[in-house]
Amino acid sequence: MSSNDLRVLVITASTRPGRLGPAITDWFVRTVRSDAASDATTVDVADLADIALPLLDEPEHPASGSYQHEHTRRWSRTVAAADAFVVVTPEYNFGMPAVLKNAFDFLYHEWAWKPVAFVSYGNTSAGTRSVQMAKQVVTTLRMMPIGASVALRIADSVHDGRVVGSTALDAAARTLLVELSRVARALCPLRGGNDPTDADGPVTGLTLREAQADDMAELLVLQRCCWVQEAIANDTLDLAPLRETLDDLRASTTTWRWWCVRRDGRLVAAVRARAHRRAWLIGRLMVAPDQAGNGIGSWLLSYAEGQAPGETTHCTLFTGHRSTRNISLYERAGYTRTATDDTPAGSVRLSKPRHGRLAGAVHHRAGVV
């Protein structure tokens, strides 16, 4: 997707049997589909009944970005990929559904600096009191509720389980999308593009997210710049990061999780990791040469450690045996050299046991609360 493309996520916020939410979501998506396509906007749907989040069960504060459960990581990826949201919500007892509040509470940074619009439905108030309650929550998450909204009175707009559209109602839905898109594009610089974590790192202006398809070309350039130094230090050009093509890098995302760090929009650092048996393998930790020495590498390493699944017992990484600067950084972070038969020639293997929850310490040091 180009930098001008937008992803709008429509969240169906009711989960009870017999709910009207899916029908109203379907009407909204069908109504705005043509306008969305002409405005380079992709509209996706997240039904909270299908997402099936339990009541908040993460041991760390959502602001830490450290998630122990795969259901949270899936939800994080879904929300982080969106630039804007449309919440389709009923009203329960003058308020929003508990499942919607729970879905908001699971995450923090992924919501930030993104606009949100509401399509509400109900009887007397057409669900508007649910919207007013939800706005108190979304503003705390640094989201921006827009002025345009759609409110459907069930008796007037829903028959036989389907929305009966009208010229005025359809126009309101399209107007909502137009305003949502304008605000999403205006807020783009605040979120560094499509970044879920406005990171309180060692220097100002950092944003952190899992790598996306549109990061790959820039990531390849950064990788080659960083590994020139490794080639010089180890007196060899026979290094995988220097041989890889763009297709190779894209293919690696099927087996590795990548994270990218941007500073005021520019890609300045990256790292990848994956689980292998009981180890959390961390690799390709890189920082742009002109950004080195600012603490970004140590900070990003700590973040990568914090993403280790609960079943892993230690973190492991490799570097060139002459890469004294890298080895020093890793040893300061608590890693020790471990000789094994499978260590590649010319490399050093370093490992660090996972004592307690690394993620909590990581983000405390990074200043996230």
> Which pLDDT tens digit goes with each residue over 172-215?
999 999 999 999 988 887 775 444 444 567 888 888 889 988 88
Tens digits of residue pLDDT in 91-103: 999 999 999 999 9
- Cα Dmax for the chain: 76
Lookup: tokens for 203: 């220097």
Angle at 111 between CA 105 and CA 113, to 5 degrees: 140
Q: Please indicate whether residue 304 or residue 190 has the higher confidence score (pLDDT).
A: 304
Angle at 246 between CA 274 and CA 295, to 5 degrees: 55
Q: Taking residues 217-234, report their average pLDDT.
A: 87
Radius of gyration of the chain (CA): 23
Q: Taking residues 288-293, report their average pLDDT.
A: 90
Domains along the chain with CATH numbers = 6-192 (3.40.50.360), 199-366 (3.40.630.30)
Asked whether the predicted pLDDT for residue 27 surpasses 90, the reply is yes
Q: Are 189 and 354 in contact (CB under 8 A)?
A: no
At 30, the pLDDT band (50, 70, 90 cuts) reads very high
Residue 157 CA, chain-centre distance (Å), reads 36
Q: What is the pTM of this model?
A: 0.56
pLDDT for 74 equals 93
pLDDT for 347 equals 81
CB neighbour burial string for 129-162, b if at least 16 within 10 angstroms, e if fewer:
bbbbbbeeebeebbbbbbebbbbbebeebbeeee
Distance between CA atoms of 122 and 101, rounded to whole angstroms? 18
pLDDT for 355 equals 63
Q: Please indicate whether residue 135 or residue 18 has the higher confidence score (pLDDT).
A: 135
Distance between CA atoms of 223 and 58, rounded to whole angstroms? 34
